[in-house]
Amino acid sequence: MTKRWGLIGASTIAREWVIGAIRATGGEVVSVMSSDAARGADYAAKNGIATSTTNLDRLLGNSSIDAVYISTTNELHRDQTIAAARSGKHVLCEKPLALSVADAKAMAEACRAAGVVMATNHHLRNAGTHRAMRDCVKAGRIGKPLAARVFHAVYLPPHLQGWRLDNPAAGGGVILDITVHDTDTLRFVLDDNPVETVALPQTAGMAKSGLADGVMGVLRFASGLTAQFHDAFTIAHAGTGFEVHGSKGSLFGRDCMTQRAVGTVELVSGAGREDLPIDHGNLYERGLANFHAAMDGKGQPSATGIDGIWSLATGIAVVEAAKTGKAVAIEPGL
Ligand code: NDP
């Protein structure tokens, strides 16, 4: 049966990726909510959406809507998710889920109590590259994973150079924007949880209001593995990568920390070098297909609310570590 969606937030990410993914996986977008009537109406018209509203209760009161996609700025996610859950709507919420772990937990609890599906839109675990690396690690092909490196320093495109750079109250800054994705991808590929972090922030001229536009740091995982990460809004030509180094082999993912279904993974071990076969597919469509299945009681979404709590707890610990220069424990209390 067609899944009918309401969008909360007339956002760039919905326009560029998620509306298409909903439609490509058997869903329909029924309405969009924007805080600005004229912009909402224009967004609806340009994206082929029948109606728009400025009223959250009106969107949530529409009984034909099964699920909502929340892609407003981050300070709004909590109340919108809780209201949607209480209206019986399934919730796909953008990362970071909220600005505090307590708020994210309240969101997950509201969804659990209402019996609706909750997912966090961590798209990178849907990438063929990361799935291939996870399979390889699970199969024991690199032995015991000991270390990882995430290269996720990119250039924030001009059309996104807004609240991320100057609005701490909206959850701006590179850490809550990008480091949360690194964390989720590491948890997915390694099947392990972070326990501690150290980090140093950078402000290289793009971010304002005390926000970082670059960060380097290290996460220690429960298994003892250490993972280093470099995230930035300011670096145009570094390329992205994700590596896992184990006792018997190393995985080199290249061009894989991206929204596009691209990238390669090379396995290097005593047996030589091998390019892993990658099942490339649209990352957001995989996420939406899993979400639609979960709505039908079949399996879990790609990244659950609990996964979103983990990435947020880690992001907040990295912010604290970057601010204080001290090691900070990651304890979401789950
Ligand atoms: P946008 O800035 O495009 O949209 C966020 C909000 O800003 C919208 O809800 C909208 O408010 C308002 N807005 C949008 N365009 C304008 C405009 N021209 N003038 C005034 N206000 C405007 O943000 P993103 O799409 O980049 O990010 C939204 C969320 O998605 C964030 O939580 C972010 O972290 C997440 N994200 C996730 C990605 C992923 O791959 N998982 C990738 C990118 C972002 P209103 O709805 O009231 O109209």
**Are 169 and 244 in a shared domain?**
yes
**Mean pLDDT, rounded, for 101-111:** 98
**Cα distance between residue 167 and residue 302, in whole Å:** 29
C-alpha 71 – ligand 1 centre gap (Å):
6
Average pLDDT over the chain reads: 98
In a domain, 334, yes or no: no
The C-alpha atoms of residue 179 and residue 147 are separated, in whole angstroms, by 17
Quick check: 142 pLDDT over 90?
Answer: yes
Domain that holds residue 152: 125-280+312-329
Confidence class for position 246, pLDDT limits 50, 70, 90: very high
Q: What amino acid is encoded at 34 in this protein?
A: S
DSSP 69-107: EE-S-GGGHHHHHHHHHHTT-EEEEPSS--SSHHHHHHH
Kindly report the CATH number assigned to the domain that includes residue 78. 3.40.50.720
CATH number of the domain within which 154 lies: 3.30.360.10
The tens digit of pLDDT for each residue in 109-121 reads: 999 999 999 999 9
Task: Report if residue 307 sits inside a domain.
Answer: no
Residue 251, in any domain of the structure: yes
Whether 8 and 69 map to the same domain: the answer is yes
43 and 138, same domain (yes or no): no
Distance 305 CA to ligand 1 centre (A): 20
Q: Which of 11, 152, 284 maximizes ligand 1 atoms within 8 Å of its Cβ, making it the mutation to test the pocket?
A: 11
pLDDT at site 112: 98
* Nearest Cα residue to atom 4 of ligand 1: 11
Whether residue 17 lies inside any domain: the answer is yes
Q: What span, in angstroms and rounded, lies between the C-alpha atoms of 184 and 312?
A: 9
**Count, residues in the chain:** 334
115 in the same domain as 150: no
Residue 107: inside a domain: yes
Q: pLDDT at residue 2 above 90?
A: yes
- pLDDT confidence of residue 24: 98
Task: Determine the pLDDT at residue 117.
Answer: 98
For the segment 81-104, the average pLDDT, to the nearest whole number, is 98
Contact criterion met (CB below 8 Å) for 190 and 207? no
Q: Is the Cβ atom of 121 under 6 angstroms away from ligand 1? A: yes
Q: Is 1 a residue whose pLDDT tops 90? A: no
Return the structure tokens found at 150: 């995430």
Whole-angstrom distance, CA of residue 277 vs CA of residue 192: 24
**How many structural domains does the chain have?**
2
Kindly state whether residues 159 and 245 are assigned to the same domain: yes
